[in-house]
Chains A and B, each alone.
Chain A
Amino acid sequence: MSKMNNVSKSKLHGLWALTNRELKKWYKTPVVFILTLLQPIIWLGLLGNALNLGSLVGSSSLTIPPQVITELQLTPAQITVLQGFFSNIGDTIMQGTFGTTSYISFMAVGMIAFTALFTTMFSGMSVVWDRRLGFLNKALSTPVSRAVIILSKVLSATLRSIFQASIILIIAVPLGFQFGAAFTAVNILGVFAFLFLICMGLSSLFIAINIRSTRIETPMAVMNLLNLPLTFASSAFFPIEQMPGWLQAVATINPLSYTMNGMRQLLINSSIDYSQLALQYAYVGLFALVLTTVGIVLSWRFLNK
């Protein structure tokens, strides 16, 4: 009855079908789709503008007081030079701290990584739903490979993150995002590469955490515990160098920091330090490799009970 010649024997068969299943749930449900787009807009619009550190230290707040001019008997020429110096102080501080004069540009890149974190967390939780609703068992009774079941989750989260990152970038431009001097269109591919690696790693991590849970409450608690430290102990909102020592220690090993710093080099910095960039790719790449391997090995074990 079952004719084997109608059947694909590739190890990866079903990968796209399962990935597409996850993606369809997202793009075919308008509410979910719009909400995932709205979230970064709100974050960027609200936080990016509310925390506008640029205007805090910007030129408008720094003028030479009249007493100083009379006291030092400054000539108009000297005043212009000094005024010029003062109005550049803000930009100099911003450039030195954030690598760009525009805080919203700095934060937009943080938002991209942050969105990747959230998307992968939810994809990790969807394993629990699949188990709950019996889909996992059903898939396990078919010839589809166990690794493919896991990889499809990883892949769908990655694709979603890349799409959302592009949206964030597009939205950020009218909100004041400034590309750095070193930016070329090719750098976008470099950003996607960073996102691909970090999403592979993170989503494998979250799937491995959730693979044994049969109830949704456990992963929710774990995710809540992890998400704020991962976000704030990173360079999402603030450069690591300005953090207290203990936080710096956490942030320096946080792969999200490497991802964001790397993406900032590609997008907003005035020049690219290629040895740093190589290090950032290597770190995030290693993170992805190790966690994807661990995730798949663990999942394999638990799916083959």
Chain B
Amino acid sequence: MSNNAIEAEALTKVFNGSLVAVDHIDFSVRNGEIFGFLGPNGAGKTTTINMLITVLKPTEGKASILGYDIAKQNTQVRYSIGVVPQEYTADEDLTGYENILLCADLYGIQREVSKKRASELLELVELTAFKDKKVQTYSGGMRRRLELACGLINRPKVLFLDEPTLGLDVQTRAATWNYIKMLKKEFGMTLFMTTHYLEEADALCDRIAIIDHGKIIVVGSPTELKDSLGGDIITVAIKEDVDITELVERINHVKEVKKENGSYRIKSENGEITAPLIIESLRKEGHVVTRLSLTKPTLNEVYLQYTGKSMRDAEESGDSLYAKRMIMARRRH
């Protein structure tokens, strides 16, 4: 087996013979890393996940998880993966504990084993106190944690999370991030997640693929992607009315200098190191620095650079919109 937990080759899904949801994508996820799938609504994120978790059959191409082919060896794939879906799938009429045991039964895990694991997992996601309460009394955050516990019941080597923090408040989101980090650290699990929160991808993922219109546009670590934009931006203004462009260009790391509205916009790698150098050089030449700011590019810029700026809501299909509305309606209760 290779070092890759997931490998996809020309993976394609066409719906109804014409709608290309995922278009010949290639990627690989290394063992033990958190891999993020980032993209606008309707880009093909969920379709890709559904193919990898063997719910949808690929129209073309192939993919494997831990070396098992998702089409030909789907039983092995199903035993080795865990899934935390976007929706709250736990049964509202059952208790949290019953829901976890139900998940265990779907894997055919023997009762004495599943009871022990369920208790451990409830402890892990801090729901032990609520385990015998019906899920309809749970808050959104508790339900999300319960989904996580269900997804872990078969001790998966690869965990799929579809929009794990969609609609959660700030505190719960932070807690979810901690769980995700812990799974990687403590259990060496490989995690594949989709998200459209950029700060989430930045905080959690070792590597990110940006997907749009069913195609992967770019893959890399958050840092690599940010660096690909050309580095940090330092803006400097001086008291004197002289052109310092040439002077600044000679400083180490500086890549580009532009004069804009009386100040200088400097692109540079390692902005924190370059900024003091700039101040020093300008002082040596007798200039007085009146203002300096340093901006680090965020994934926001990367994302917008690759996917363009237009809104995508209109591209969502009627069905998925309807489903989202249903989820919202349920959450309001």
The segment from B79-87, B123-131, B207-215 that touches chain A is B79-87
CA distance A17 to B104 in the complex (A): 9
11 A-B contact pairs sorted by A residue (CB < 8 Å): A1-B155, A6-B113, A7-B108, A13-B105, A18-B105, A28-B94, A137-B89, A140-B55, A142-B78, A143-B106, A215-B322
A141 close to B323 (CB less than 8 A): no
Q: Which residues of B contact A50 (CB under 8 A)?
A: none
The segment from A70-78, A128-136, A168-176, A178-186 that touches chain B is A128-136
Which of B53, B110, B150, B326 makes the CB contact (< 8 A) with A132?
B326
CA distance A65 to B297 in the complex (A): 106
A144 contacts chain B at the CB level, 8 A cutoff: yes
* Chain A: CB-nearest residue to B74: A143
A29 close to B79 (CB less than 8 A): no
A190 contacts chain B at the CB level, 8 A cutoff: no
Q: Closest approach, in angstroms, between the C-beta of B183 and any C-beta of chain A? A: 12
* Chain A: CB-nearest residue to B319: A214
CA distance A139 to B79 in the complex (A): 12
A7 close to B94 (CB less than 8 A): no
Q: Which residues of B contact A29 (CB under 8 A)?
A: 93
Q: Which residues of A contact B98 (CB under 8 A)?
A: 24
Q: Closest approach, in angstroms, between the C-beta of A3 and any C-beta of chain B? A: 8
Residues of B within 8 A of A (CB): 50, 53-57, 75, 78-81, 83, 85-89, 91, 93-94, 98, 101-103, 105-110, 113, 150, 154-157, 160, 187, 319, 322-323, 326, 330
Knowing A25-B93, A134-B87, A215-B322, say if A2 contacts B106 (CB, 8 Å): no
B54 close to A141 (CB less than 8 A): yes
Knowing A24-B94, A133-B88, say if A1 contacts B157 (CB, 8 Å): yes
Which of B105, B150, B155 makes the CB contact (< 8 A) with A2?
B155
User: Beta-carbon contacts of A4-45 to B below 8 Å, as 1s and 0s?
Assistant: 101111100110111001001100110000000000000000
* Chain B: CB-nearest residue to A214: B319
CA distance A215 to B325 in the complex (A): 12
CA distance A141 to B80 in the complex (A): 10
B107 close to A138 (CB less than 8 A): no
B109 close to A134 (CB less than 8 A): no
Q: Which residues of A contact B156 (CB under 8 A)?
A: 1-2
* Chain A: CB-nearest residue to B326: A132
The contact size tier of chain A is: 20 to 34
Q: Which residues of A contact B103 (CB under 8 A)?
A: 142
Knowing A24-B98, A134-B88, A138-B89, say if A305 contacts B108 (CB, 8 Å): no
CA distance A132 to B101 in the complex (A): 22
CA distance A4 to B83 in the complex (A): 19
CA distance A305 to B55 in the complex (A): 8
CA distance A135 to B86 in the complex (A): 11
A141 close to B83 (CB less than 8 A): yes
CA distance A132 to B328 in the complex (A): 13
B106 close to A144 (CB less than 8 A): yes
Knowing A1-B155, A24-B94, A142-B78, say if A10 contacts B108 (CB, 8 Å): yes
Residues of A within 8 A of B (CB): 1-2, 4, 6-10, 13-14, 16-18, 21, 24-25, 28-29, 132-135, 137-144, 214-215, 304-305
* Chain B: CB-nearest residue to A131: B323
Knowing A13-B105, A132-B323, A138-B89, say if A143 contacts B110 (CB, 8 Å): no
Q: Which residues of B contact A138 (CB under 8 A)?
A: 83, 85, 89, 150
Which of B81, B83, B107, B160 makes the CB contact (< 8 A) with A7?
B107
CA distance A87 to B87 in the complex (A): 68
Q: Closest approach, in angstroms, between the C-beta of A23 and any C-beta of chain B? A: 11
A143 close to B86 (CB less than 8 A): no
Shortest 9 CB-CB contacts between residues of A and residues of B:
A134-B87, A17-B105, A8-B108, A13-B108, A142-B106, A141-B53, A143-B78, A134-B89, A144-B106
Which of A4, A13, A17, A134 makes the CB contact (< 8 A) with B86?
A134
CA distance A233 to B107 in the complex (A): 44
CA distance A305 to B113 in the complex (A): 33
CA distance A304 to B54 in the complex (A): 9
A134 close to B54 (CB less than 8 A): no
B80 close to A2 (CB less than 8 A): yes
CA distance A149 to B146 in the complex (A): 22
CA distance A132 to B329 in the complex (A): 13
Q: Closest approach, in angstroms, between the C-beta of A36 and any C-beta of chain B? A: 14
A6 close to B109 (CB less than 8 A): yes
Q: Which residues of B contact A17 (CB under 8 A)?
A: 101-102, 105-106
Q: Which residues of A contact B323 (CB under 8 A)?
A: 132, 214
CA distance A32 to B98 in the complex (A): 19
CA distance A2 to B156 in the complex (A): 7
B55 close to A141 (CB less than 8 A): yes
CA distance A29 to B86 in the complex (A): 27
* Chain B: CB-nearest residue to A216: B326
CA distance A181 to B217 in the complex (A): 79
20 more CB-based (< 8 A) A-B contacts, given A135-B91, A141-B54, A143-B108: A2-B80, A2-B154, A2-B156, A7-B108, A7-B110, A13-B105, A13-B108, A14-B106, A18-B105, A28-B94, A132-B326, A137-B55, A137-B89, A138-B89, A141-B81, A141-B160, A142-B103, A142-B106, A143-B79, A305-B57
